[in-house]
Amino acid sequence: MKYSFKIFSIFGIPVELHISFLVLILLIYIIALLNLVPYINILTAVLITLIFVSVVIHELAHCYMAKRYGIGIERIVLLPIGGISEMEEIPKDPSKELRIALAGPVSNLIIGGICYIILILSLAYISKTIQGAIYYFIVVNILLGFFNLLPAFPMDGGRILRAFLAERMNFISATKLSASIGKQLAIIMAIIGVFFNFLLILIAIYVYLGAEAEYQTVLLSSLLENDRIKDVMTTDVHTVQPNSTVQETLKIMFKERHMGYPVTDDGQLVGIVTFHDLSKIPEDERDTLIKDIMTKDLVVSNPEESLMVTLEKLNRHRIGRVPVVLENRLVGIVSKTDLTNILERKQSLLEKKGS
């Protein structure tokens, strides 16, 4: 996710903070320290911080359960409206998805229960103010637990609903119905937000867009999961050598009208160079060798990789094409245009079958 940065890792999972979250927390502490708003003091700021710690624990509970089923976790991103766990794949087994989805809300209810016990045991030892803060923290965790059970993607309740439906229909149909219910709930939530709380409108927008994104992701995955890169890649790949100069490579680019080339050394992929890389070199330095300016940190695919996995790589890294490599030897290249064209044809066929 753009505009987020890593703050720590736990269980090998990077936890990132979105810049909007950082701005919100800083704003709250500034207001508290300067006493700009009544009732917002340092205790309130600390309480809000602890609530977001609960959100982290909520997301970690999802991740822990997912990792138990062998599902990789890319990262957790904290936003002002909550957290997002980015998993490498969506579990297709309804029972697994059910357990993963339930883990988050259950963690909030457990936190609330533990804090309630602590409150009861410490009533005689803490001030009324601290008691009130702990009570508020308990209520917020219980509300978070139950609120996340609303049957709306991308909230946990939407995934629980899909797991229930997927036992009775195919996965795509279950996702489509769950997403439709989620979008309707989002509209209701937005209407309520107009009259009661602006934050509900923001959550409604997030839910509505998330529901549609979830359906599109599942649709793409289902359409592309059985196809392999080896079936669509271009095998006649034009390459340049690491000891070619910038001037020589520019001549090739203008002649062949390609905007980027893999760089190979005796068939081994060693880098990639684009017109953007070359255009930054001044004219009087165009005897510079390609190996000195090429990108060496490469995103690659392999012939057996599914089209969906490669498309996700292209989108995540915001690149237009990836080299296809087998045992470090370049065997082909595939572009985002290739994959989107295939996807459009498959969607067209799917629509014709449905009509």
Can you name the residues that pair with 8 across neighbouring β-strands? 15
Do 114 and 2 belong together in one domain?
Answer: yes
Q: How many helices (H) and strands (E) does the chain have?
A: 11, 8
Catalytic-residue membership of 285: no
- What is the C-alpha to C-alpha distance for residues 89 and 100, in angstroms, rounded to an integer? 13
Angle at 157 between CA 155 and CA 163, to 5 degrees: 115
Say if residue 143 is in the same domain as residue 192: no
Strand ranges of the sheet holding 329-335, from the earlier edge strand across to the other edge: 260-265, 268-274, 329-335, 321-326
Same domain, 257 and 311: yes
Buried b (16+ CB within 10 A) or exposed e, 290-316: bbebbeeeeebbbbebbbbbbbbbbee
pLDDT given at position 355: 47
Q: Give CA angle at 341 (170, 311), nearest 5°.
A: 65
133, part of any domain: yes
Which of the listed residues 149, 179, 199 is the one where a domain comes to its end? 149
Compute how many other C-beta atoms are within 10 angstroms of the C-beta atom of residue 22. 16
Q: What is the pLDDT of residues 32-59, one digit of tens each?
A: 888 887 777 888 888 888 888 888 888 8
Nearest Cα to Cα of residue 166 among 176, 157, 156 = 176
Q: Are residues 9 and 118 in the same domain?
A: yes
> What is the CA 39 to chain-centroid distance, rounded?
36
- Flag whether 350 is in a domain: no
Same domain, 202 and 329: no
Is 267 part of a structural domain of the chain? yes
Q: 5 and 144: one domain?
A: yes
> Does the N-terminal peptide bond of residue 154 adopt cis geometry, omega within 30 degrees of 0?
yes
| Boundary of a domain, candidates 105, 122, 149 | 149
Q: Are 85 and 73 in contact (CB under 8 A)?
A: yes
Task: Tell which residue, 72, 129, 63, has the closest CA to residue 100.
Answer: 63
Claim to verify: residue 204 and residue 298 sit in the same structural domain: no
The pLDDT score that the predictor gives to residue 161 is 92
Domain for residue 23, yes or no?
yes
Tell whether 354 is covered by a domain: no
User: Are 28 and 48 contacting, i.e. CB atoms less than 8 angstroms apart?
Assistant: yes
Q: Which positions of the chain have pLDDT values less than 70?
A: 1-2, 81-82, 350-355
Is 351 a member of any domain?
no
- Here the CATH number for the domain that contains residue 236 is 3.10.580.10
Domain coverage including residue 17: 1-149
Domain closes at, from 224, 243, 278: 224
In three-state secondary structure terms, 238 is coil
Same domain flag for 211 and 308: no
DSSP per position, 269-318: EEEEEEHHHHHTS-GGGTT-BGGGTSB-S---B-TTSBHHHHHHHHHHHT
Residues 134 and 161 in one domain: no
User: Which pLDDT value is given to residue 2?
Assistant: 60
- Within a domain: residue 259? yes
- Same domain, residue pair 89 and 129: yes
Judgement on whether residues 58 and 197 belong to the same structural domain of the protein: no
- Is residue 355 situated within a structural domain? no
Render the burial of 123-138: b for 16+ CB within 10 Å, e for the rest.
eeeeeeeeeebbeebb
- Number of compact structural domains in the chain: 3
116 with 219, same domain: the answer is: no
Angle between helices 156-166 and 171-195 (to 10 degrees): 150
